[in-house]
Amino acid sequence: MFLFILSLFYRTPEASERVSGFVNSQLESIVRELLSLNGFDPEEASAGRLKLYQDHLASLITVQGVLGAVFLRDMEYHIIKNETASEFYISDHPVFIYNWFYRELEHPAVTSINAIGLQIFLPLSPKITLCLYDTKVYKYGQRSLVTCVSNDKDIEILNSFQIINSNSIIGFYSSKNESHVKQLCERYKNIILRQYESGILSTSEEGKGRRRSTHFVFTRQEKLMKMPSFIKVKKKLKSYASSYQERDPQLSAEFKKLIINEQRQRSIVELDQGDG
């Protein structure tokens, strides 16, 4: 299930656009510095944009999603059953990932899938939504694994996640809901869930006119105003919301080593091919 959810999250056009935005944000920071050092207007850096080959990018980030699925192994699932007259909508980027616990925290890793407080929502049908959540932080519903929702406001909040997440398509079952979908789009579509910020972290002069700069780019999570009423943050955890923590630091360290080793092996293979 975890493999399916993360591969679905990373294989959509919206996911590719977000990764392109991340890459271009870092590139803009580098170009901005180069323009400034050479006497040009640094604002010109925002005039251009690197266009990535979407099919290759989608394949690459989907593989990374599959590898990262191991980070979800500690997540608990919860089923939301819609008992209202309305339905759950679904978008062309249906896996909604958020961190309500860290919504006020200014930290570059808040959007990480290994962060404490991770939440995932995926509508499965007009009446069923699947949730994954960090049980150390949240309480979903009562003691049952299924929560029956008869509150229209909760259904609208869950549907707003699909509007916010969408690229260009919102799916719904009954044609009677068309006007309601349009209303939700007008209300929520302008919310940008993740924005990318970049800049120079440090610079140093190395002599002979050489300069070394370290650039950073990170994803800033939009501060949403509401969560469904069946979701509660455990009281004993609220005091920890002011400092970032990972759910499994050891796993994170091992995963980073795996990625670094894979990149090294790929570089060796490419070098061997070049020599041949």
pTM over 0.85: no
Distance between CA atoms of 77 and 140, rounded to whole angstroms? 9
Residues 6 or more apart whose Cβ sits within 8 Å of residue 212: 203, 204, 206
pLDDT in tens, 207-224: 777 888 887 777 889 999
Distance between CA atoms of 47 and 18, rounded to whole angstroms? 18
> Among 23-32, 54-63, 103-112, which stretch is predicted with the lowest mean pLDDT?
54-63
Q: What is the pLDDT of residue 55?
A: 65
Q: What is the pLDDT of residue 54?
A: 64
- Tally helices (H) and strands (E) across the chain: 6, 11
Whether the per-residue pLDDT at 115 is higher than 80: the answer is yes
Q: Percentage of the chain surpassing pLDDT 90?
A: 48
pLDDT in tens, 117-126: 999 999 999 9
Q: Percentage of the chain surpassing pLDDT 70?
A: 89
Q: Coil, helix or strand for 127? A: coil
Q: What is the pLDDT of residue 206?
A: 78
Distance between CA atoms of 68 and 243, rounded to whole angstroms? 23
